[in-house]
Amino acid sequence: MHKLTPKGAATRDRIVRAATDLILERGVGGMTLDEIRAGTATSKSQLFHYFPDGKRDLVAAIAEFQSGRVEQAQRPWLDHLDSWESWQGWRDAVVAHYRGLTHLYCSLTAFVNEVTPTDPELAAAIGAYADRWLDHLTAGVRKLRAKRLIKPEADPERLALMVFTALQGGLLVMQAKNSIEPLEAALDGALLALHSQHP
pLDDT at 27: 67
pLDDT at 25: 72
Q: Does residue 29 carry a pLDDT above 70?
A: no
Average pLDDT, the chain: 85
pLDDT at 174: 87
Contact 58, 44 (CB under 8 A): no
State how far the alpha carbon of 192 is from the alpha carbons of 152, 185, 187, in Å.
18, 10, 8
1-58: what fold? Arc Repressor Mutant, subunit A (1.10.10)
Contact 145, 199 (CB under 8 A): no
Q: Does residue 11 carry a pLDDT above 90?
A: no
Q: Where in the chain is the domain with CATH 1.10.10.60?
A: 1-58
Q: How far apart are CA 113 and CA 116, in angstroms?
A: 6
pLDDT at 85: 97
Q: Which helix (H) or strand (E) holds 138?
A: helix 120-146
pLDDT at 57: 82
pLDDT at 113: 61
Confidence of residue 1 (pLDDT cuts 50, 70, 90): low
pLDDT at 126: 76
Q: Does residue 28 carry a pLDDT above 70?
A: no
pLDDT at 196: 96
Residue bearing the bigger pLDDT, 51 or 30: 51
pLDDT in tens, 141-189: 999 999 999 999 999 999 999 999 999 899 888 888 888 999 999 999 9
Contact 36, 22 (CB under 8 A): yes
Q: Which helix (H) or strand (E) holds 171?
A: helix 156-177
Cα 58–chain centre separation: 16
Distance linking the first and last C-alpha atoms of the chain = 52
At 76, is the secondary structure helix, strand, or coil?
Answer: coil
Question: What are the E-state strand segments in 30-181?
Answer: none
